[in-house]
Structure 1
Amino acid sequence: MAVRMTLQTRLVLHALLQVPESELYGLDLIRATGLGPGTVYPILQRLERAGWLTSRWERVDPSDEARPARRYYALTGEGVRDGLRELAAAESRSGSLTNLLGSLPKEARGQA
Structure 2
Amino acid sequence: MPPFRATLQTRLVLETLLADPPAELYGLQIVDATGLPPGTIYPILARLESAEWVTSRWEDGEHAEGRPRRRYYRLTPDSVEPARALLAASAQRRQAHRRPAVPFPHPPLGGLTR
TM-score calculated relative to the size of structure 2: 0.76
Provide the C-alpha distance between the structure 2 equivalents of 1:60 and 1:30, rounded to a whole number of angstroms. Answer: 24
Q: Which structure dedicates a bigger proportion of its chain to helix?
A: 1
Gaps of at least 5 residues in structure 1 are 96-112
Alpha-carbon distance, 1:51 to partner = 0.6
Alpha-carbon distance, 1:61 to partner = 4.1
Provide the C-alpha distance between the structure 2 equivalents of 1:54 and 1:79, rounded to a whole number of angstroms. Answer: 10
Corresponding position: 1:29 with 2:34: no
Structure of larger gyration radius: 2
Aligned residue in 1 for 2:93: 93
Q: What's the CA shift string for 1:10-62, capped at 9, x where partnerless?
A: 00000000011100000000000000001000000010011101000001345
Q: Which runs of 4+ in 1 moved over 6 A?
A: none
Cα-Cα RMSD? 1.4
Gaps of at least 5 residues in structure 2 are 96-114
How many residue pairs match? The answer is 94
TM-score calculated relative to the size of structure 1: 0.78
Identity rate, percent: 55
Alpha-carbon distance, 1:94 to partner = 1.8
Provide the C-alpha distance between the structure 2 equivalents of 1:47 and 1:90, rounded to a whole number of angstroms. Answer: 17
Higher relative contact order (CA 8 A, sep 6+): 1
Provide the C-alpha distance between the structure 1 equivalents of 2:94 and 2:3, rounded to a whole number of angstroms. Answer: 18
